Amino acid sequence: MILVAGSANLDFVVRASHIPAPGETVLGRDFKTFSGGKGANQAVALAIAGGVATTMIVSLGNDAFAAPLEASLNAAGVRLHIKRVADQPTGTAFICVSDDAENAITVAPGANDSLRPDDMIPLADLAQCSHLLLQLETPLPTVTAFAIAARQQGVKVVLNAAPAQSLPGELLALLDILIVNEGELAVVANHAGSIEECLERIHVPCVVVTLGSRGACARVDGQVLKQAAFPVTPVDTTGAGDTFCGAFVAALSHGQNVAQALRQASAAGALACTKPGAQSSIPTHAEVQTFLNSSIAP
C-alpha cells in the first residue's frame, strides 16, 4: 500500500486562445469543473494508472466543493482519511488552458492549509505502507512531520516539491526520492545553472526531473538515467506531472527499477496530456501497458 498526504482542489477550468499576460483580458470559451489538487491527483494516478492500493490523508471543507472530490477519489478506489474543516472552504484552483495545451494555475488552498502533523494515520497502519508520497500544497511543517513519522516506520519517503519553494535541510535529509520539474529543481538547488550542476547540489539518494516534451531524467546511485518523451498530440497538460509522480512511485512499489519506473511514468504522463482535466485525464494501468507495447518511443 502507498500513502499519499496532500491537497485536494476543485479545479475551475476555462479554455482560451492564449494565457493572459499581466493586465490583459482574454475572452474564454469552454468552462468546466474538474477534481484536482496535487495530492488527490497523485493518489488517483497511483490507484488507476499504477494499479496499487492507495490511502490518502486529506483536509476538506464542509461545503459542496468537497463532494465531487470525494466522489472522484472513491471511484478510483482510494481509501480516505478525511479531516473535515468547518471554518475553511475546500481548496480550489483556477486554471486557464490555452489552445497549445499550456496552462496557468492559481490555487486557493482553503482547507488544505489546515492539515496538521497530528493528522497522520495510526502508526500501525503507516507501517503497512511501502512509500509515503508528499507534495507542497499543504503546510511545510506538516510535510516534514509526516516524513519523520514515515522514516521512523521504515517507509520510503517521496516528495514532489511542487509548487516550488526552498526546502530546509531537515526535510531533504528525510527523503529517499525527490521529484521536480526544471523550475522546481533550480529553486530547491538554489542554483540557476545546468540540470547537472543543480543535481550535484541536492543530497537526496534519488532525484527525478521531468522535462516536458524532452522527457525525464534521474540521478540515482551517482548515475544519470534519461528517458525520452513519448510522442502524443497534447490537449491539456494539467495533471500530467501528477500522473507521472503517481505512476513512478507505483512502478517502484511493484518492484521495477528506476529506469523502468521512468519509462512507465513517462508513458502515463504522456497519455494524461491527451485528455482534458486533471484526474479525468489519468489513464488506466491497462491503457498505459497497451501504449508502452505499441509505442515506438524508447
Q: Give the residue-averaged pLDDT of 267-291.
A: 92
Q: Characterize 123-156 residue by residue with b for buried, 16 or more Cβ atoms within 10 angstroms of its Cβ, and e for exposed.
A: eeebeebbbbbbbbbbbeebbbbbbbbbbeeebb
pTM above 0.85, yes or no: yes
Does some domain include residue 245? yes
Does some domain include residue 12? no
Does some domain include residue 149? yes
Residue 73 belongs to a domain with what CATH number?
Answer: 3.40.1190.20
- Helix (H), strand (E) at residue 293: helix 285-294
> Which residues belong to the active site?
242
> Is the separation of the CB atoms in 2 and 51 below 8 Å?
no
Does some domain include residue 18? no
Q: Give the residue-averaged pLDDT of 113-134.
A: 96
pLDDT at residue 278, as a whole number? 81
Q: Give the residue-averaged pLDDT of 101-107.
A: 86
Strand order in the sheet with 91-98: 31-36, 9-16, 91-98, 103-108
Sign, CA dihedral 5-7-8-13, equals negative
> Is the separation of the CB atoms in 179 and 158 below 8 Å?
yes
Residue keyed to cell 483580458? 25
Query: What SS3 class is residue 56?
Result: strand
Does some domain include residue 285? yes
CA distances, 113 to each of 61, 144, 160, 186 (Å): 11, 14, 17, 25
Residue 74 belongs to what domain range? 2-7+36-90+113-294
Maximum alpha-carbon separation in the chain: 53
pLDDT tens digit string along 199-233? 999 999 999 999 998 999 999 988 999 999 999 98
Overall domain count for the chain: 1
Query: What SS3 class is residue 27?
Result: coil
